[in-house]
Amino acid sequence: MYGWHLKLLRVNLTTKKITTEDVDPKIARDYLGGRGWAIHYLYKEMDPMADALSPENMLIFATGPLTATPAPTGNRYMVITKSPLTGALAHSNSGGEFPTWMKRTGFDMYIFEGKSPEPVYLFVNEDQIELRPAAHLWGKDTHETTDILKGETSQEARVACIGPAGENLALMAAIMNDKHRAAARSGVGAVMGSKNLKAVVAMGNKNPALHNPEGMRNLSVSTSKEVGVDVKKGSNMRIYGTSYVPQVTNTLGILPTRNFLQGTFEHVDKIDGDALKNQYLIRHTPCYRCPLSCGRLTEVPDGPYKGKGEGPEYETISSLGTGCGVSNLAALVKANYLCNEYGMDTITTGMTIAAAMEMYEKGYISEEIIGMPLKFGDHDAMIAMIKLMAYNEGFGKELAQGSYRLAEKYGHPEIAVTTRKQEFPGYDPRGSQGMGLLYATSNKGASHMEGDVAYEEVFGVPVKENPLTTEGKPELVRHFENSFALMDSSGLCVFVAIRYAFNKDRMILPLRVTEMMNLTTGANYTPEEVMIAADRVYTLERMFLMKAGSTEDTLPHRMLHEPLPDGPAKGMVVELDKMLPEFYKLRGWDEKGVPTKEKLIELGLPV
Amino acid sequence: MMIRVKLIANYREALPPEAKNGVVELDVPNGTTVYDAISRFDIPLDDTSVIVLNGLTVDMNTPLVEGDMVTAFSAIAGG
Ligand code: SF4
């Protein structure tokens, strides 16, 4: 077989038994790879009602058929598990180098089961597969852990690991790879911590064989050239990464500000991409084989926030920055570094602190409980909270449970801006209606990565949609969700894939991705088949969600009942009722959002 | 009448030196449209550019009124 190795590694952490298994070629084809394969195994083997932090939960690392191929941005992997934050499915995507190195070990996927009685890490160098003691790494941050592990294995190896936040089961813990890249959302790092698995170290030379190497090389070269032309025309991503976006969302009035109390931030010029570029940018840093290269190495050279690392990206600026009302750029950059070092999702971290700030200002939580004043804009208090969360100390214990549980505990659930208990990313859906439908229905709780219709509503990629209207949004959301399921299953990064994945005419078919999948795997997909497979993946994830009991598709109080007070979307709430019934119908789900028997049969899914 | 044009990120290179935080004030004749205002700047108006009026999605031929803000940016990917 080509593209896929059709091999998975199964590691039982309780018994320390490690086995390798072949993957059925029909399953491989029907579920594409990466995220698709993972949900197939999760659904088949795991009780969706299992406690996410118990040994019964499965933790899956999955690469796609295009990972480690010449495909530009073919450098991704997915972490799939049941989320302790949401109780729903978690699937978090990351790039960098680790995913390519993981695939070169000769396995497409690693499945972790059970729980090790003591801290361990997994070392894989092709046929040399070992669980090794990790007591000496426990308590170390992600940067130290990475350096130590490369030192004791090989500088050629690449590392994915958790930091203190994952060890302490903070529900916003991420799995970091290559120090700065994160499979961030939904608490996947806490699942890893609950299994006493500190790190995974991968190396090897088993590049996947390609069905048509020459064709793949040619297509990759021409695609890279196209991206290069794009980069020249509008080099925002290269120079700014996503840090240019606050100006865009601020203009549209959908920049989450002070826990979504506002949609515009008066100090946006102090923390935008230009401020970052002029003050702290050193150079851009790509993921493996990426012609766009949107990562950026930055440094705060001196002062109390001195440090060096990568980012921040937009989602960090809109959570730890504007979400918390913070306008001190050096402190914001430092907060981002700390989250990477402790291994934390900046979105949930920032928006949980933002919710606590609002509750403090409204008098719902006292200074005594918090241990200090916690006003919007207090960047030093914010940094103090991040540390407490990572180490599960003091008020950090409560923050580490996320904003939903915090707000509920203090009797004000309306403060939490979450769906399925997961914090919103950086697009206020009151001024971006399609995003509202997406957050409400997303199988993993609020997430832009579930099907980012902001591409159209905000960025005009590939077509500009009016963000304030609801017409046509159900179909747009459905299409984007399936498209993201495809990209996440293939091993491509959406930043680039979105540009070459689809036709301009409303992106009906993923011609380029299909071509790449065929040249790589020889599976002879038609574009229609690829989209049906993506629908199959999305629908099976929905079934997992239904069985996990997180069945209500709704939005928090603020989005449905508190109109935006400022900006171009002033006066608006999300008109979810106008979109939801049509969305269910288009998806082939019943009026409660459950996939119908007919739909399951049509997709060849278990009924 | 006075209007304002705001350019974001790399488009800022096309702004005159008096611009502050990416915003420049312009005195334009009545009847000036969104398109007219943005065409004064050396930025590529192709499928990567997004132009909004007071943060809203509008037709490029919409005539401007006193105090309007036209914003343009180039997007090849999101956040
Ligand atoms: S576009 Fe950015 S995130 Fe995506 S692969 Fe390239 S460098 Fe990595």
Terminal Cα distance for chain B, rounded? 36
> Distance of CA B42 to CAs B12, B15, B31, Å?
10, 9, 21
Place of tokens 């077989």: A1
Whole-prediction pTM: 0.97
**Chain B touched by A293 (CB under 8 Å):** no
- Minimal-distance CA residue of chain A relative to B69: A251
Quote the pLDDT of residue B79. 54
* Three-state secondary structure call for residue A530: helix
* Three-state secondary structure call for residue A91: strand
Quote the pLDDT of residue A327. 98
Residue A237 pLDDT level (bands cut at 50, 70, 90): confident
Work out the average pLDDT over A221-245.
80
Strand order in the sheet with B23-27: B23-27, B2-7, B69-74, B49-53
Which domains are present in chain A?
Answer: 7-203 (3.60.9.10), 232-423 (1.10.569.10), 429-602 (1.10.599.10)
Average pLDDT of chain A is: 95
Helical H segments across A241-375, by residue range: 245-252, 273-279, 314-316, 329-342, 346-361, 367-370
A249 to chain B, closest Cα gap in Å: 9
Q: Is the pLDDT of residue A410 over 80?
A: yes
Quote the pLDDT of residue A503. 60
Pairing of strands A295-300, A197-203: unpaired
- Contact criterion met (CB below 8 Å) for A580 and A434: no
Quote the pLDDT of residue A508. 56
Nearest 5 degrees, angle CA A95-CA A98-CA A104? 115
- Contact criterion met (CB below 8 Å) for A297 and A280: no
Positive/negative CA dihedral, A351, A494, B78, A270: positive
Quote the pLDDT of residue A509. 67
Question: Is residue A73 in contact with ligand 1, taking CB distance under 6 Å?
Answer: yes
Question: Is residue A495 in contact with ligand 1, taking CB distance under 6 Å?
Answer: yes
> Distance of CA A220 to CAs A49, A69, A94, Å?
43, 9, 21
pLDDT, tens digit, for every residue of A324-357? 999 999 999 999 999 999 999 999 999 999 999 9
Quickly list DSSP for A188-218.
HHHHHHHTTEEEEEEE---PPP-SSHHHHHH
Work out the average pLDDT over A43-66.
98
**CB spacing of A499 vs B52 below 8 angstroms:** no
Quote the pLDDT of residue B75. 77
State the ipTM, two decimals. Answer: 0.95
- How large is the C-alpha radius of gyration of chain B? 12
Q: For B16, left (φ over 0), alpha (ψ -120 to 50), or beta?
A: beta
The Cα–Cα gap between A320 and A350 comes to 4
CATH number, domain at B36?
Answer: 3.10.20.30
Residue in B21, B56, B78 closest to A568 by CB: B56
Q: Is the pLDDT of residue A148 over 60?
A: yes
What domain count does chain B have?
1
Q: Is the pLDDT of residue B77 over 80?
A: no
**Residues contacting residue A368 through CB under 8 Å, at least 6 positions apart:** none
Q: Is the pLDDT of residue B78 over 70?
A: no
Largest CA distance in chain A: 67
To test ligand 1's pocket by mutation, which of A290, A316, A492 has the most ligand atoms within 8 angstroms of CB?
A290
To test ligand 1's pocket by mutation, which of A292, A314, A448, A490 has the most ligand atoms within 8 angstroms of CB?
A292
Quote the pLDDT of residue A156. 98
Work out the average pLDDT over A490-498.
88
The Cα–Cα gap between A582 and A577 comes to 9
Test the A interface: residue of B5, B8, B42, B53 with most A CBs within 10 Å: B8
Q: For B19, left (φ over 0), alpha (ψ -120 to 50), or beta?
A: beta
Q: Which residue has the higher pLDDT, A70 or A496?
A: A70
> Which two tokens mark A330?
């050096």
- Contact criterion met (CB below 8 Å) for A439 and A560: no
Q: Is the pLDDT of residue A234 over 80?
A: no
Give the number of other Cβ atoms within 10 Å of residue B39's Cβ: 12
> Does residue B12 lie within any of the structural domains?
yes
The Cα–Cα gap between A144 and A136 comes to 11
Closest ligand 1 atom to residue A291 Cα is 6
Q: Comparing C-alpha atoms, which of A243, A222, A245, A207 is closest to residue A291?
A: A222
Quote the pLDDT of residue A550. 85
Quote the pLDDT of residue B76. 65
Domain containing B69 equals 2-74
Residue A111 pLDDT level (bands cut at 50, 70, 90): very high
Quote the pLDDT of residue A507. 56
* Torsion angle in degrees (nearest 10) through CA of A392, A393, A395, A396: -30
Residue A557, classified by CB atoms within 10 Å of its CB into exposed (0-12), middle (13-18) or buried (19+), is: middle
Residue type, A102: M
> Does residue B13 lie within any of the structural domains?
yes
> Does residue B79 lie within any of the structural domains?
no
**CB spacing of A244 vs B9 below 8 angstroms:** yes
pLDDT, tens digit, for every residue of A175-196? 999 999 999 999 999 999 999 9
Residue A510 pLDDT level (bands cut at 50, 70, 90): confident
pLDDT, tens digit, for every residue of A260-301? 999 999 999 999 999 999 999 999 899 998 988 889 999 999
- Contact criterion met (CB below 8 Å) for A360 and A372: no
- Contact criterion met (CB below 8 Å) for A445 and A88: yes
* Three-state secondary structure call for residue A307: strand
**Residues contacting residue B45 through CB under 8 Å, at least 6 positions apart:** B38, B39, B51
> Tell me, what DSSP letter sits at residue A185?
G
Work out the average pLDDT over A554-572.
98
Among residues of chain B, what percentage have pLDDT more than 90?
Answer: 78
- Contact criterion met (CB below 8 Å) for B70 and B6: yes
- Contact criterion met (CB below 8 Å) for A404 and A550: no
Q: Which residues of B touch A236 (CB under 8 A)?
A: 9-10, 73-76
Residue A140 pLDDT level (bands cut at 50, 70, 90): very high
Instruction: Return the bridge partners of B24, or none.
Output: B5
Q: Which residues of A touch B8 (CB under 8 A)?
A: 244, 247-248, 251
Residue A501 pLDDT level (bands cut at 50, 70, 90): low
Window from A199-208, A510-519, B57-66 with minimum mean pLDDT: A510-519
pLDDT, tens digit, for every residue of B8-59? 998 999 999 999 999 999 999 999 999 999 999 999 887 778 999 999 999 9
